[in-house]
Copies of this chain bind each other. A is one copy, B any other.
Amino acid sequence: MSTVNTVTEQLTAAGQAIEHDSFAIIDAEAGRHAYSAEQWPIVRRMIHANADFEFNGLTDFHPGAVRAGVAAMLRGGTPVVADVEMICSGLSRPRLAHFGMSTHQFISDADVIAQAQAQNTTRAVQAMRKAHRLGLLQGAVVGIGNAPTALIELVRLIMEDGVRPALVVGMPVGFVSAAESKDLMAQIADVPWIVIRGRKGGSTLVVAALPAADDDPGHVADLRHQVFRLCGPHDPHRHPHHQGRAHAVLHAPPHEFHQRGGLLAD
């Protein structure tokens, strides 16, 4: 199996044409929506990922979510912590590398499995605790596409242990506690989040919603500008790496952002 994943990049003209037409169809059929200009491209990618227009409505954003996600990405070196490996393999590796982001998931680790069995809880809970023990959650982008118990544990870590991820993309799927876990997350004011209300969710939706998937050239350019103002030279101690990173991104060759991408391979 190849270790290179450029699956989220449209590298061919044929692939770009298909994606262009797909988004045009979505725009034509989606009808009215209540999302901001910075939120809609994310919802549109989610509709694209599952061919399901219900995400126009079910998707809900903390007001600071999109900027927080892009800021985390531009900061450089931000970890992405996921509940399952499918999310990690769905993200664009060249894009992650460009922003110095690393991916982490612990669901299949022997110590996680052993602790879950010993404590009569789930692997997903123990995997979140392991990420916390390793110091990975602080300032991280956390993507949960599978296990409601992972999101519930993350909410507990935020409320009780003061954990502060940069952004939580909370989209567990299921019939037991999934809707409730997302309603819990959406009550948090101190940590930005994007959630899908109700039962729906999944790895492909998390991949579509994660800021590393963001690829609309105009959108990224706008956000680069906003983020540079937002967390730029005025607050250098908070984001020690961001200045050089933001500078590098602002001065990156435009073609790096003009290559259309998205979840779908061509």
Contacts and interface: CB of A to CB of B under 8 A. Distances in A.
A250 interface: no
Contacts of A201: 51
7 contacts: A2-B105, A7-B108, A11-B117, A14-B120, A84-B265, A202-B204, A203-B204
- Consensus secondary structure, chain A interface: loop
B175 A51 contact: yes
Interface stretch (A20-28, A217-225, A233-241): A20-28
A201 B16 CA distance: 20
Nearest to A178: B51
Contacts of A7: 84-86, 107-108
Contacts of A86: 7, 86, 89-90, 203-204, 207
Interface residues of A, number: 64
Contact of A25 (B110, B122, B175): B175
Interface of A: 1-2, 4-7, 11-15, 18, 21-22, 25-26, 48-52, 83-86, 88-90, 103-110, 113, 116-117, 120-124, 146-147, 149, 173-178, 198-204, 207, 264-266
A73 B53 CA distance: 36
A227 to B, nearest CB: 28
A108 B173 CA distance: 28
Nearest to A207: B86
A104 B105 CA distance: 22
Contacts of A108: 2, 4-7
A66 B149 CA distance: 32
Contacts of A14: 116, 120-122, 149
A149 B15 CA distance: 10
B199 A123 contact: no
Contacts of A106: 2
A236 to B, nearest CB: 32
A173 B50 contact: yes
A122 B202 contact: no
Give the most central of A25, A26, A103: most B CB within 10 Å: A25
Contacts of A122: 12, 14-15, 18, 265-266
Contact of A51 (B48, B105, B199): B199
B266 A2 contact: no
A4 B107 CA distance: 9
